Amino acid sequence: MKLDNLALQGNNKVMQAYNNDKAFLHTFFDYENQAAAYTERLHELSGRTFKSRQLAETIRLFMEPFGLSEMADRHIRELAEGAVTVVGGQQAGILTGPLYSVHKAITVILLAEQQQKALGVPVVPVFWIAGEDHDLNEINHVYTETAGHAVKKQYREKFVLKLMASDATYDKEQMAAFVKEIFSRFGETAHTKVLLEGVLHAVEQEETFTRFFVRLMNGLFQEQGLLFIDSAFKPLRELETAYFTRMIEESAQLAEKICQKEALFAEQGFGTPIGAELDAANLFYVHETGRVLLSRKNDEFVNDSAGIRLSKAEILRVAVEQPWLLSNNVATRPIMQDLVFPVLAFVGGPGEITYWAVLKEAFHHLGLKMPIIAPRLSITLVTSQVQHALTSQSLTVEAVMTGEAVAAREQFIDGLRDERFQAAIEETETVLHTQYEKMAELVESQGAMMQALLQKNLLFHTKQLDYVKGKAEEAVLIQHDKALRTFSLLEGELFPDGSLQERLYTPYAYLNQYGPSLIKELLKLPFEMDGTHKVVKL
């Protein structure tokens, strides 16, 4: 493997400001992502109280059914004794979702290892699964590369209610068939049989999207002892009772702080990522109609469309007696995470960092500081086939990702055109139009019907010439199909449909080519978390 860094010019204004603008950073965050900040954050966490033993046992209870490695067991014991954490999170996607789920886990593990060495204290890597999310359309599909395009294949089972991913069960036969179809698109390799059997075993062992996701991810990162917890896990909800109570009591003030900060964020040109509202409760309630968002109205917590109306006393009773009926939204999830875990650093992608940016004053209102925000590694994997294609076309990865490959392909196609044949076609068209104009003059006295007939006849011959022209171009393209497929391969693999590879493709496409040890090999690379895009040549 070879690792290169690319300084891609991204179009995410927030990340540009986060990486380059100190004033922005200090306005919207509490810490810079620098060595000194980790020491300062560690000191701050030492002054706070956490339910460390209860949390550790909750994680153990959640993870044991998936298989607890020796390293994971050690991390749980360290957490119980007061270790700090590096936390990252993600929705539960089929076949782990896009590559960035794995990239996020890699970042969490490497950053935890780095800070454990630097600080001389146990630092535990934690992956927080947003199992409470109910938008199943965001997670029920897989993209594969086909003929230079990212092709979306959707798991078709219908879900009527707004079920949380942790409650949404799949049909095992249907999911197994779906997985087999996806693997058939990867092509058969020496690794296919073992990988497919492992995934199908996970399908059979589990029933929900979240648990299927965790079983696969735990298998990939078992050796490193990455800890997993589902935000919708009932014992975790019970641990969060006091925190839900606090969020309910302070909901009006939290909403006000978030609105004010988002207004400043928008004023500086960064938009409104949360769409904060003053009457927001920033909590969901799990109702018989599904998971519904609550607002505050006349000192009640309501969702009019679902017919829900709870007094403050009633929702506080829910928080104490049935906390699993409550869940966080995008605004309160980071706060809940920080109340539950001693978070040294949070690893997030560009979208997550954008909405965290409007939460600083909400954290402060509860007497908290935001953790250090560490952008996840952004990685593009370059297969040996793609490396060969790059060499054959004298292109670089950066050239493909900045659109130069498209221009190179068009230039290549232009160079294939037979100029003499094109000239002959154009000359024929000119002669044809000239002769029909002469005929039109000669039959002018014969009326409109004859003129219309000539026009129709001319159009027929023009279309025939266009057909011949198209067929000639098609023949040339077929003759040079291999070279054109090379361009398609480069675009489809490295910058599919104008997106980074990591945002679309499942890691199983690459595990199928390079084997299960690919993750372990990636973890050995000397990644620097410096904001550059990483290119890994496999």
Mind listing the pLDDT tens digit for each residue in 502-520?
999 999 999 999 999 999 9
Residue 26's nearest CA partner among 16, 17, 35 is 17
Q: Which of 112-116, 267-271, 432-436, 519-523 has the lowest mean pLDDT?
A: 432-436
Tokens representing 124?
A: 């535990």
Q: Which of 5-19, 257-271, 287-301, 427-441 has the lowest mean pLDDT?
A: 427-441
Determine the angle formed by the axes of helices 448-479 and 481-494, rounding to 10 degrees. Answer: 80
Dist CA 211 CA 202 (whole Å): 9
Mean pLDDT, the chain, integer: 90
Tokens representing 208?
A: 């929900």
Tokens representing 465?
A: 């010439």
pLDDT at 265: 97
Q: 370 pLDDT exceeds 80?
A: yes
Dist CA 313 CA 249 (whole Å): 10
Q: CB neighbours (10 Å) of residue 306?
A: 17
> Contact, 216 vs 202, CB < 8 A?
yes
Beta pairing partners, 124: 85
pLDDT at 470: 63
Q: Which of 137-141, 223-227, 231-235, 427-431 has the lowest mean pLDDT?
A: 427-431
The single-letter DSSP state of residue 484 is H
End-to-end, the C-alpha distance of the chain in Å comes to 5
Beta pairing partners, 144: 151
The single-letter DSSP state of residue 162 is B
Q: Band of the pLDDT at 454, cuts 50, 70, 90?
A: confident
Tokens representing 122?
A: 């146990």
**pLDDT, tens digit, 9 for 90 and up, residues 63-74:** 999 999 999 999
pLDDT at 33: 93
Strand order through the sheet with 326-328: 308-311, 300-303, 290-297, 280-287, 326-328
Segment 396-416 mean pLDDT: 76
Q: 6 pLDDT exceeds 60?
A: yes
Q: 421 pLDDT exceeds 60?
A: no
Tokens representing 269?
A: 């040109």
Torsion region of 287: left, alpha or beta (phi above 0 gives left; psi -120 to 50 gives alpha): beta
Q: Residue 495: which residues within 8 A CB-CB, separation 6 or more?
A: 400, 401, 405, 501
The percentage of residues in the chain with a pLDDT greater than 70, rounded to a whole number, is 92
Q: Band of the pLDDT at 468, cuts 50, 70, 90?
A: low
Segment 415-422 mean pLDDT: 61
Q: Band of the pLDDT at 473, cuts 50, 70, 90?
A: low
Dist CA 400 CA 251 (whole Å): 48
Segment 29-39 mean pLDDT: 96
Dist CA 372 CA 33 (whole Å): 6
Q: CB neighbours (10 Å) of residue 377?
A: 26
Beta pairing partners, 85: 124, 343
Q: Which of 104-108, 163-167, 221-225, 308-312 has the lowest mean pLDDT?
A: 163-167
Q: Which of 16-20, 263-267, 387-391, 408-412 has the lowest mean pLDDT?
A: 408-412
Residue 492's nearest CA partner among 135, 147, 20 is 147
SS3 324: helix
pLDDT at 418: 57
- How would you label 495-516 residue by residue, b for 16+ Cβ within 10 Å and e otherwise? bbeeebbbebbbbbbbbbbbbe
Residue 213's nearest CA partner among 128, 302, 314 is 128
Q: Which of 269-273, 426-430, 521-525 has the lowest mean pLDDT?
A: 426-430
Main-chain phi, psi angles of 294, to 5 degrees: -100, 145
Better pLDDT: 475 or 245? 245
> Contact, 324 vs 240, CB < 8 A?
no
Residue 254's nearest CA partner among 130, 162, 339 is 339
Better pLDDT: 394 or 408? 394
Chain centroid to CA 67: how far? 26
Q: CB neighbours (10 Å) of residue 457?
A: 12
Dist CA 486 CA 517 (whole Å): 28
Tokens representing 359?
A: 């939460």
Q: Band of the pLDDT at 453, cuts 50, 70, 90?
A: confident
DSSP sequence for 218-287? HHHHTTTT-EEEETT-HHHHHHTHHHHHHHHHTHHHHHHHHHHHHHHHHHTT---SS---TTEEEEEEEE
Dist CA 130 CA 287 (whole Å): 18
Tokens representing 383?
A: 């297969």
pLDDT at 317: 97
CA triplet 315, 321, 327: central angle to 5 degrees? Answer: 60
Q: Residue 171: which residues within 8 A CB-CB, separation 6 or more?
A: 157
Q: Which residue has the tokens 């109306």?
A: 309
Q: What is the pTM of this model?
A: 0.88
